[in-house]
């Protein structure tokens, strides 16, 4: 079991999945997002190589209106 925190919410997965699979599950694949894993930026090109690990903290962000 893998327990992670994504955008502040606890999530669990039965087995390690790649970031691409995660984004697919969240319907965010191909969207204009940026991803930080444990405080470090993960470049888009590495989404299919990096596996979620127990204890990971992810931030997935988008652009919104702001001043």
Q: Which residues bind another protein (CB under 8 A)?
A: 6-9, 26-28, 31-36, 39, 41, 43-44, 59-67
Asked whether the beta carbons of 13 and 52 are under 8 A apart, the reply is yes
User: In angstroms, what CA-CA distances link 64 with 4, 8, 40?
Assistant: 25, 18, 21
* Residue 47: CB minimum distance to another protein, A: 12
* Residue 8: CB minimum distance to another protein, A: 7
* Residue 1: CB minimum distance to another protein, A: 20
Place of tokens 């994504």: 6
């Amino acid at each position: 079991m893998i327990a992670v925190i994504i955008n502040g919410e606890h999530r669990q997965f039965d087995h390690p999945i790649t970031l691409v699979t995660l984004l697919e599950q969240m319907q965010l694949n191909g969207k204009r997002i940026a991803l930080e894993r444990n405080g470090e930026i993960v470049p888009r090109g590495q989404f299919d190589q990096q596996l979620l690990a127990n204890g990971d903290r992810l931030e997935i962000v988008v652009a919104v209106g702001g001043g």
